[in-house]
Structure 1
Amino acid sequence: MIRTEGLTKRFGRITAVDGVGLDVREGDVFGFLGANGSGKTTTVRMLLGLVLPTSGTVEVLGEPMPARRASVLPQVGALVEGPAAPPHLSGRRHLALLDAAGPGSRRTGRAGRVDDALEQVGLGGVDRRPVRTYSLGMRQRLGLAAALMRRPRLLVLDEPTNGLDPAGIQEIRRLLLDLNAAGTTVLVSSHLLSEIERTCTRVGVLHAGRLVLQDDLASVCGPTGLLVVDTPDPHLAARLLVGRVEAVDGERLLVRDQDAASVNAALVGAGVPVRSLHAQRRSLEDVVLDATSRQAIA
């Protein structure tokens, strides 16, 4: 769905994006991560043909960009750098005008498309209020509704949960997963690692303009080879598992073993109560910090 090779953007002497090779596959929910100033938004803008690369190539939906943007962009929904809408218009009128101005626009079914988009993002009850009365979270929802108007094959979102409360974030998460289940490929950039971890199937990490990690989330956040044991008697458990205990933190032990059943049997058989026992997995935060620190050292 998205493929770049050697994608580079320079602004004078500053290299904002440096040789990026993105690979977003059909069916992905792809989390695009990077700190402020990492080049993430510049990369997204090049994908959409809003900024021309200094060098390298971009393909979206199998077509070169920006050369084929007239045929590609009608199949892409995007929310980049925050939503924008005339403050005097209602949300409904704004979406209707966007639909009318789009390539291949048709009047037939327009009201239904607007209704569907507003309902999807939770704005069905406030659609006739002027945009100037909207909160930041409501404006964000309206921007997302605009991206969904044409039922896109590919959805590109830059910080889509900005300004939303926890309930709103949860709603958007469910919406993205539902859209993906229905066949929409999603690229979402966000600084909320917990949301990326809950939502995405693959991730890419940009640091100082370079792509320092790109892989399946299940692979990079896989088991560490350690078991986490929660017991009210950690000291006895540590004596029984001598030689395999990596650390003791309060009533939790890190045990170097991959056979949870045998560890549990050994502890319970010796009279040590076990509240929980599970394989330790790397968090996305650990993965990102490790990838960016290796790049900084290099």
Structure 2
Amino acid sequence: MTRLVIETRGLTKRYGGRAAVDDVDLHVAEGARYGFLGPNGSGKTTMVRMLLGLVYATRGEISVLGRPVPSRVAEVLPEIGAMVEGPAAYPHLSGRANLALLDASGPRRGRAGRRRERVEEVLERVGLGAVDRRPVRTYSLGMRQRLGLAGALLNRPRLLVLDEPTNGLDPHGIREVRDLLVTLNAAGTTVFLSSHLLAEIEALCTDVGVVDRGRLVLEDALDAVRGPTGRLVVRTPDPEAAARVLGRAVAERHGDTLVVDAAPGGPPALARHLVEHGVPLDGLAEQRRSLEDVVVALTGPGSDTARGARRNGARPDPTSGGIRR
């Protein structure tokens, strides 16, 4: 049986007459990379703060690492690395000095020399190893994000809870953080990542929860969410010939790529049919739904989540049935 490191039941947080989080049942399995997806203002950060005991729920139950929160949150915090609503730091001190203070006040014990080694280790892991003694107030937003992630890693946590960890990073930095989280996850750390970026969740996560106006509208394994559409994607240097051979089965054309209705026998049968008619192939595969398709279908065109899914210059991607960024 899969062990849950985060579980909520009927979790609700109301501010006056508004429900920021509305009756949410969340299930995060040990060893998962769980993406908590929703636009700004959808209740993601409120949810994260409740998981860490920083905000009390109006009603509902929370269990983190097998213990109820907030009543026993002090027992689990030493095993959690967290960054919520951006990194906190003393602006007049250097990054190293901030981490040293955080480490000294944390649950880890050991000689000062060992703690300094750990500070240097996490700075290297997040790409700040070469940073000088400049105060944090001179850091860029991306550098501050890296410093916050370094602080979350100090205790070698079993569970990482991160709220928009790639905010302010350039594409190279985003990839570095993604690779780091995959490495940590492979070593046994469960990752719970809150983000409004579809591409970030789709590239990193194994499981996904989608929140819209405070309600959880989807929770599933990402592979299950991105299931087959029932169509096949054909890539060929001679799309005209392929279109003639396939006729009405062609549903879409995009340059050298054709999307066709699946035929009996699936990809092997279609490949044989094209080759027998002299059509060269560069590739043939099942078309799969994109996370965007699923989100838009669930939330509707007028929702904040659906509008967020269409931003950032997206254009059709026939290979996924969704978008290419």
Using a 3 Å threshold, how does the CA distance of structure 1 residues 209 and 48 change in structure 2: closer, same or farther? same
Q: Which residue of 2 aligns with 1:267?
A: 274
Higher mean C-alpha deviation, range 263-272 or range 249-258: 249-258
Cα distance in 1 for residues equivalent to 2:108 and 2:178: 30
Matched residue type, 2:124: E
CA 98–127 in structure 1, closer or farther in 2 if over 3 Å, else same: farther
Q: How does 1:88-127 map to 2 (within 5 A)?
A: 88-103=92-107, 105-108=109-112, 109-126=114-131
**1:163-178 equivalent positions in 2, closer than 5 A:** 163-178=168-183
In 1: Cα distance, 2:155 partner to 2:143 partner: 20
Q: 2:125–2:150: 8 Å Cα contact kept in structure 1?
A: yes
Partner SS state of residue 300, structure 2: helix
Over aligned residues, Cα RMSD in angstroms?
A: 1.8
Q: Which moved more, 1:105-114 or 1:27-36?
A: 105-114
Aligned to 1:82: 86
The residue matched to 1:241 in structure 2 has which SS? helix
- Displacement after TM superposition at 1:106 (Å): 4.4
Q: Classify the secondary structure of the residue corresponding to 1:198.
A: helix
Query: Residue 80 of structure 1 contacts residue 158 of structure 1 at CA under 8 Å; is this kept in 2?
Result: yes
Residue number in structure 1 paired with 2:192: 187
TM-score (norm 2): 0.87
Question: In the alignment, is the contact (CA less than 8 A) between 2:160 and 2:191 conserved in 1?
Answer: yes
Task: Report the alpha carbon displacement of residue 276 of structure 1 after superposing the two structures with TM.
Answer: 2.5
Q: Per the alignment, do residues 55 and 184 of structure 1 end up closer, same or farther by CA in structure 2, a change over 3 Å counting?
A: same
Deviations 1:44-102 (A, max 9, x none): 00000000000000000010001111110010000000011111111111111111122
1:104–1:181: structure 2 CA closer, same or farther, 3 Å change rule?
A: closer
Letter aligned with residue 26 of structure 1: E
The structure-2 alpha-carbon separation of the partners of 1:40 and 1:191, relative to structure 1 and needing over 3 Å to count, comes to same
Matches of 1:208 and 1:154, distance apart in 2: 26
* 2:135 corresponds to 1:130: yes
Q: Structure 2 stretches of 5 or more lacking a match?
A: 304-325
Instruction: Please report the TM-score for the alignment, with normalisation by the length of structure 1.
Output: 0.94
Deviation of 1:130 after TM superposition, in Å, equals 1.3
2:100 touches 2:119 (CA, 8 Å); kept in 1? yes
Aligned 8 A contact 1:100 1:106 in 2: no
Indicate the SS of the match to 1:89. Answer: coil
State the distance in 2 between where 1:32 and 1:249 align: 32
Q: 2:65 matched to 1:58?
A: no
Q: Secondary structure at the match of 2:160?
A: strand
Residue 261 of structure 1, CA deviation = 1.8
State how 1:1-298 maps to structure 2 within 5 Å: 1-103=5-107, 105-108=109-112, 109-126=114-131, 128-257=133-262, 259-293=266-300
Q: Which runs of 5+ in 1 are unaligned?
A: none
Aligned residues: 296
Partner-residue secondary structure (3-state), 1:214: strand
Quote how far apart the aligned CAs of 1:232 are: 4.4
Q: Deviations over 1:98-126 (max 9, x none)?
A: 11122455445211221111111011111
Secondary structure at 2:146 match in 1: helix
The amino acid that maps onto 1:283 is S
